[in-house]
Amino acid sequence: MNMRAAVCGDHTLAMPIKPATLDDPRVDEVLVRIVATGICHTDIKIATTPGLSPRPIVLGHEGAGVVEKVGAGVRKLAPGDHVVLTFDSCGRCPTCAMGKPSYCHEVAAVCFSGKRLDGSTTIRCEDASTHGNFFGQSSFATHALANERNAIKVRKDAPLELLGPLGCGLQTGAGAVLNSLGLRAGQSIAVFGVGAVGLAAVMAARVAGASRIFAVDVVEERLALAKELGATTAINGAKTDALKEILAATKTGVDFALDTTANDKAIEQAVDCVGPLGACGLIANKNPAQAAQVKILGSMLRGRTIRGIVQGDSVPDIFIPRLVDFFMDGRFPFDKLVKFYPFDNIAEAMADADSGATIKPILRMG
């Protein structure tokens, strides 16, 4: 299978688009013609940090496209199906068996090793073996091989070119609220950082009927968008003390907080603004060694939970179609976060994602 792929060969955001070939699907794999793919901050982190994934590699993990071919053992999908590609998981470890695939024991191998579990690579470029399978997809390409497990069938009347970010960033924010924290109607939440993940959390909190939604950020335009999408209070953390403001407004604190910033101060404030028996979710980090201060007594006396969250505890076959339905019903208008770029302008799109100039860039394969 001939294709064009953006190949990351060093530790910069440069990934020149080159002709490449892609393997045929094996028994449990599907070949997908990528229509469009979102850019997520994990792509930037992997592209610029040595040691996390091998080189050369094709990144991209928010692909959306059309199934072209399926392996002999695939039962869930057929050629012509519209799919959103999401994170991969092994399907056999204890957490996969518990229906919590985002905490799969094999995550390093299935999402970051650039190879199938048997060690084979799926892409050849310039006569050299090239790493694929990034998040079980490597969607910065015109075609991708996914596993049946991480290709999620979606309704055909939804705009496919928009849907890729549901596979990672948006399900992470929305799932944190709806699945991990389990916010119910009438409860309150503070969302620290309203980029793509935080704005998805704000929209999901509104879907769930939150009484109060505090959005904290340092960029005024993002705070304005958060208010448009459902935040009841916008707080510029660079100008005011977000913790004081949330506590003054709620007396005892919010039911839930979510940090999407990986900023030490924001994490500490997110924990401290949670009231009795509430929970704070942590979904971003700077590096494996990052640590933050937790006030033990305050958390103990309030019975607070602090929990890590990956991919919003999504069971993608259930959760992604649900988010598509919310979008189609006008209740999850994530199209307001998006800017489209032609695939050939991937350098500009990566730079805009990195600088924050665009909240959610999507590459159109064309």
What does the binding site for Zn ion look like in residue numbers (CB under 5 A)? 40, 42, 89-90, 93, 96, 104, 168
We find the least distance from the C-beta atom of residue 268 to Zn ion, in angstroms, to be 25
| Identity of the residue, 42 or 133, whose beta carbon is nearer to Zn ion in the bound complex | 42
Q: Find tokens 């949330």 and name the residue.
A: 246
Transcribe 292-361 into DSSP letters. Answer: ----HHHHHHHT-EEEE-SGGG--HHHHHHHHHHHHHTTSS-GGGGEEEEEGGGHHHHHHHHHHTSSSEE
We find the least distance from the C-beta atom of residue 33 to Zn ion, in angstroms, to be 21
The answer to whether the peptide bond before residue 165 is cis (omega within 30 degrees of 0) is no
We find the least distance from the C-beta atom of residue 21 to Zn ion, in angstroms, to be 26
What gap in Å lies between CA 19 and CA 11, rounded to an integer?
21
| Identity of the residue, 96 or 191, whose beta carbon is nearer to Zn ion in the bound complex | 96
| Identity of the residue, 242 or 359, whose beta carbon is nearer to Zn ion in the bound complex | 359
Residue 268 and residue 246 in contact, taking contact as beta carbons nearer than 8 Å? no
Q: Which two tokens stand for residue 14?
A: 């440069």
Q: How many Cα atoms sit within 13 Å of 349 on the Cβ side? A: 26
| Identity of the residue, 89 or 233, whose beta carbon is nearer to Zn ion in the bound complex | 89
We find the least distance from the C-beta atom of residue 126 to Zn ion, in angstroms, to be 27
What gap in Å lies between CA 240 and CA 28, rounded to an integer?
53
We find the least distance from the C-beta atom of residue 167 to Zn ion, in angstroms, to be 8
Residue 270 host element (H or E): helix 264-272
We find the least distance from the C-beta atom of residue 343 to Zn ion, in angstroms, to be 18
| Identity of the residue, 164 or 275, whose beta carbon is nearer to Zn ion in the bound complex | 164
| Identity of the residue, 38 or 237, whose beta carbon is nearer to Zn ion in the bound complex | 38
